[in-house]
Amino acid sequence: MWSKWALLTDLYQLTMVGGYVQEGKKEQWANFDYFFRSIPDNGGYCILAGLADVIDYIQNLRFNGEDLSYLEGLGIFSKGFLTYLKNFKFTGDLWAIPEGTVVFPHEPLIRVTAPLPEAQLIETTILNVMNFQTLIATKAARVLWAAQGDPVVDFGLRRAHGPDGALMASRAAYIGGVEGTSNVLAGRLYGIPVRGTHAHSWVESFPKEVEAFQAYAQVYPDTCVLLVDTYDTLHSGVPNAIKVARELREKGHEIHGIRLDSGDLAYLSKEARRMLDEAGFPDATIVASSDLDEWIVESLKRQGARVGTWGVGTRLVTS
């Protein structure tokens, strides 16, 4: 991923490095410490994340011909500096606190010890990667705390800030404690368990809601989670899910659960739980989504919501 991102830096990093080279500072060693001064939203801690990507970036940092041609075209860099970049390879050391560690303001989290131009050159990308992933990992941990032991799943791909942001967010959320992600590529790249149900469009593609449920259950009889709020959660969705659950049981399978994606999640989850239990499906889980964050999850828990798994998306990956 990082082999093509050598120019992911601020221009002033390059102008400073060019100046260091011209001023004979290539062999002058320096220490750069990464830390933060305050925690957003009055939080009490952060969860460190992003270190693996930083290491990958540093190990693969090379300037190719296209990079050098672009920089030459800017007309501000000397040929000597461009030659320095052409032969660039990081030779310093990096000391860091492990990912997933609880950290606090004003403590060094990463120390780069290297020749001054090398340490300067990698500063921007380290800040970009670590700040974003630490923010997401911390948000995930806060949601986990609010969920009081319930599983939390990352559903944020479609709301994330672009493909690369989505991958970093899924990885960071996993470090922060989520048990899985809807992001299939993140699952493949990082070994994160993938999770998912179906969308309202699946239900709407069939003449009747019950037919949509039956079709989905036929295709996925052992992992069937049905989205029950397309039309009327308690008068249509849950009753139809129970009907399909009974049909699955007759065939030797058990429904995995239902998902609520709108409405009063506290009330709906309690009523859905009662209906499932009375129908003989006490083990069917209830998944809740719908713009959740730690504050909403905490409120729903206080209201006695009967949710087994929380799907958190927008407010996780864009926090």
C-alpha neighbours within 13 Å on the C-beta side of residue 38? 3
What are the backbone dihedrals phi and psi of residue 260, each rounded to the nearest 5 degrees, phi first?
Answer: -110, 130
Q: What local confidence, expressed as pLDDT, does residue 1 receive? A: 65
Q: What local confidence, expressed as pLDDT, does residue 2 receive? A: 63
What are the backbone dihedrals phi and psi of residue 152, each rounded to the nearest 5 degrees, phi first?
Answer: -125, 135
pLDDT tens for each residue of 134-166: 999 999 999 999 999 999 999 999 999 999 999
**Residue 28, exposed/middle/buried by CB under 10 A (0-12, 13-18, 19+)?**
exposed
Structure tokens at 24: 């004979």
Query: Rounded distance, CA 113 to CA 92, Å?
Result: 6
Q: What local confidence, expressed as pLDDT, does residue 4 receive? A: 80
Fold of domain 2-130: nicotinate phosphoribosyltransferase (3.20.140)
Name every residue whose Cβ is closer than 8 Å to that of residue 299 and which is 6 or more positions away in sequence.
Answer: none
Q: What local confidence, expressed as pLDDT, does residue 40 receive? A: 80
Q: What is the mean pLDDT of each run of 10 residues along the chain (319 residues)?
A: 84 98 96 94 92 96 97 97 98 98 97 98 98 97 97 96 96 98 98 96 98 98 98 98 99 98 98 99 97 97 98 93
Closest CA to 157 of 196, 100, 205: 196
Query: Rounded distance, CA 31 to CA 141, Å?
Result: 31
Query: Rounded distance, CA 191 to CA 127, Å?
Result: 25
Residues of the chain within CATH 3.20.20.70 domain(s) are 137-317
Written as one letter, the residue type at 244 is V
Q: What local confidence, expressed as pLDDT, does residue 261 receive? A: 97
Q: What angle do CA 315, 173, 52 make, to 5 degrees?
A: 135
Q: Partners of 287 in the beta sheet?
A: 259, 309
Q: In this structure, what DSSP letter does residue 125 have?
A: H
Q: Partners of 31 in the beta sheet?
A: 113
C-alpha neighbours within 13 Å on the C-beta side of residue 252? 0
**Residue 163, exposed/middle/buried by CB under 10 A (0-12, 13-18, 19+)?**
exposed
Structure tokens at 196: 């998912």
For 78, 283, 309, the CA distances from 65, given in Å and listed in that order, are: 16, 59, 49
Q: Are 254 and 226 in contact (CB under 8 A)?
A: no
Q: What angle do CA 124, 312, 300 make, to 5 degrees?
A: 130
Q: What local confidence, expressed as pLDDT, does residue 26 receive? A: 95
Question: pTM of the predicted model, to two decimals?
Answer: 0.94
Q: Are 2 and 56 in contact (CB under 8 A)?
A: yes
CB count within 10 Å of CB 262 equals 15
Structure tokens at 217: 């259950």
Query: Rounded distance, CA 284 to CA 255, Å?
Result: 6
- Domain 137-317: CATH superfamily, name plus number: Aldolase class I (3.20.20.70)
Residues of the chain within CATH 3.20.140.10 domain(s) are 2-130
